[in-house]
Each structure stands twice: as C-alpha cells, then as structure tokens.
Amino acid sequence: MAPDHSVSNHETTIFTSRPILLITLVFLFISLLTRQPQMAILILLVVGLIALTKVWSLFAFSKMSVELKINQTRVFPGESIRLEILAKNSKFLPVWLQVNALMSSSCFVSDKKTGESSFLLWFQKTIFIWNLKALNRGCYTMGQHRIIVSDLFGFFPRQKTRQDPVDVIVYPKIIPIRPFSMPEHNFFGFPGAKSPVQDPVYILGTREYQSFTPVKLIHWNASAKVGKLQEKVCEPSVQEKLLIVVDVDLFHAHGAKLEFERMLEAAASMAVYFESRGNAVGFMTNAVIKGKTSDFIPLSRNRQSLSLILETIARMEMRPAGRLSDIFHHHISVLWGINCIFCSYSIDDSMLKMKHFYAHKRIAIKYFVSTMGELENKTDLIYDTIQPIDTICI
C-alpha cells in the first residue's frame, strides 16, 4: 500500500485553511489584549479542536486493515462477480472511513455507487459489497481501491491507494452456430469393420479369449466374473482433430474492432461446439496475449483444454505479435492429420501462400472471414472453403 497523504475537503476548509487559522490567532491575540476572556476561551476551544482532530487524523490509519475479496475470476459477459472490501479498526480511536472501488465503467457496471462511507468505532469492522456485471470480453486487472480515513468530524481526511491486483477473465460470448462438418481423419485406417487395425482405446465388449490374442487385451475383471479368460473386443476409431486459427493481421490493419470481437465469439463458439461432439480441439493465433498464456493450445479432448482456449481468446488483443506462418512452422511436428479452421478479416496474399502449404501437408482447411470484399481476383482459391462468418452464426 502506498503511504497515506492528506487530501483537501471543501466542506471543512474553514477549519483547515492556514489563512483562516492565522486570522483566528490574531483574534485570540486581540481578545487577550482587550481582556475578553469569553472570546479567548472560545477561540482556544476552536484551536484546540483543530489541533486535536489534526493529531487524530495522523493516527487514523494506525492499526487499520483492509482486505479485498472477489468471489470468482472467470465469468462470461452478462454474469456478475461479487467484490468485497473488509475494513477493520483495531484501536481505541474511532474513525470515519470512505472506500472507493476504482474500475473502468467500460468493463464492469456496478449495482450501486463505487464509493461508500462508514463510521468505525473502536475494534469494529465493516464490509462493503459491490455486484459487478461483466460487459465485454477481456482480461482485467482489478483490486485497486482508494481509502480515505479521518477524524469523526472529517476535518483532516487522509488517503491511501491500495493495490491488490487480481486478474478477472471475461470469456468471449458463446453464441449458437449452425452445425457444419469437417473431413474425418481415420487414426487407425478405415472406420469400423473395414479396418484391419484395432484401436485398444475403444472397447465394444468382451468374448472368450483366443490363443492368438495378445495378453494385454485380456479383460481380467470380466474373466473373474465368468470364471473363464475373456478378451476385449475393440473397435477401430475415427479421431477427428481440429485446429482453430485466428489471424489478427488484417483486423489490425483495417482497425476492425467490432469484426474482431465478432470473430472471436464465433471462434470460441466453434471450439465449444466441436468439443461437445468429442473432437480434439486446439487453438493458434498470432495476436498479442495479455499475460503469459501461450499462443498455441495443443489439440486435446478434455474440458481443461477448452478452458485454456477460452482464456486465451479472452486475453487476445487486436495487435499482431509475429507472423502466423512462423508459429505454424514451429508447431508443425504435432499437427499431423488435422483439420483447420482459419479465421481472418479477409483473404490476402499471405493466406494464399499458406493455402499451398496446407495442401502440401494434406491439412484440410476451411476459411471464415468477416468480409468477402477482397476476393474478386483470388481465383486460385476454392470458393467452397471460404465463408463469411455470419453464415454460421445464428
């Protein structure tokens, strides 16, 4: 916490202004010189009260503790978080307290004023509560609040600005999308009974053990139940792997902020859609990521991977951190047998070069763009693979 300092208060200027205090001392000198004890006593009482409250305010922050709590740090737009500030006065000296939660109105909206005040008696505590509704996607550092403490009269308020940084992630809005399919990649060859290779992960059932079956396929639990050796009957699998790529270059070049947010909502929604269908989903971008989150999320089938994708999208800024082709080449060793969804503002020459690279690596790709205005001369693109993003957003 920064050191406290005095702040001005126009309501009590008459008691704290140095010229007013100088005039009061002049009147005290005149009253003593003219032998008017009543006036002298009154002036001494006023001066004594000012001196007492001044010393009072100097010790106002002594043995004061302020603690900030946020009930959750991961929300979607429209959801609310609960911000609590607990203030405790652990001394005999009562104080007047005001707490202001500092935040940007473009990120969260509060259900009441962000500044509240209270009186704290000796060894008393109070709690200030705000319900903050998340408005927009992003990563926001919260926890900054201003504390003003003074004597009970409020003559000499003193202020501190406290920093308790907490990153609050507002995920992108998940919107309904129209179902669409991608080409399937058969990890163990043809699916079903056409494949000569069995996938030991997908077990259809059990049958009596055959002598030529590997021992590792014995189902010991089933064997114990029936009293005979049973083997696992496996099914050749179809493993679909999908990489969602967001290129930020053209969004940045055109200053297309609204289109960028719309594309991120669609990319997040597609990740949720394909993960719910059991696909392995990954994510890649060349955008600046606020914090230390990676620009590449490996393809995986689990909720943790989906959470990392949504958090990465939430932390993205509309500024390129490098060339997307360099990032792709860096991770190409783990991108075998994938489908790719490429999201951009429009199609440019760099994407045409990447198209040939995808074709060479046998990566099936589908493009989603915010605008189709720059596709007139791009005759070498297959138009079936290019769609405006609004065609799948409901």
DSSP for 248-278 reads: -HHHHHHT-HHHHHHHHHHHHHHHHHHHHTT
Question: Does the pLDDT of residue 90 top 80, yes or no?
Answer: yes
Q: If pLDDT is split at 50, 70 and 90, which confidence band does 10 have? A: very low
Q: If pLDDT is split at 50, 70 and 90, which confidence band does 335 have? A: low
Question: Does the pLDDT of residue 141 top 90, yes or no?
Answer: no
Residue 393 DSSP symbol: B
CB 332 within 8 A of CB 361: yes
Residue 1: helix, strand or coil by DSSP? coil
pLDDT at 13: 53
pTM over 0.75: no
Question: Does the pLDDT of residue 186 top 60, yes or no?
Answer: no
Least confident range of 65-74, 132-141, 378-387: 378-387
Give the residue-averaged pLDDT of 155-182: 83
pLDDT at 187: 45
What is the DSSP track for 186-249? -TTSSSGGG-SS--TTSEEEEEEPPTTS-GGGB-HHHHHHHTS-EEEEE------EEEEEE--H
pLDDT at 149: 84
Distance between CA 392 and CA 384 in Å, rounded? 14
Question: Does the pLDDT of residue 32 top 80, yes or no?
Answer: no
Task: Provide the β-strand partners of residue 134.
Answer: 108
CB 129 within 8 A of CB 123: no
CB 187 within 8 A of CB 368: no
CB 18 within 8 A of CB 159: no
pLDDT at 248: 92
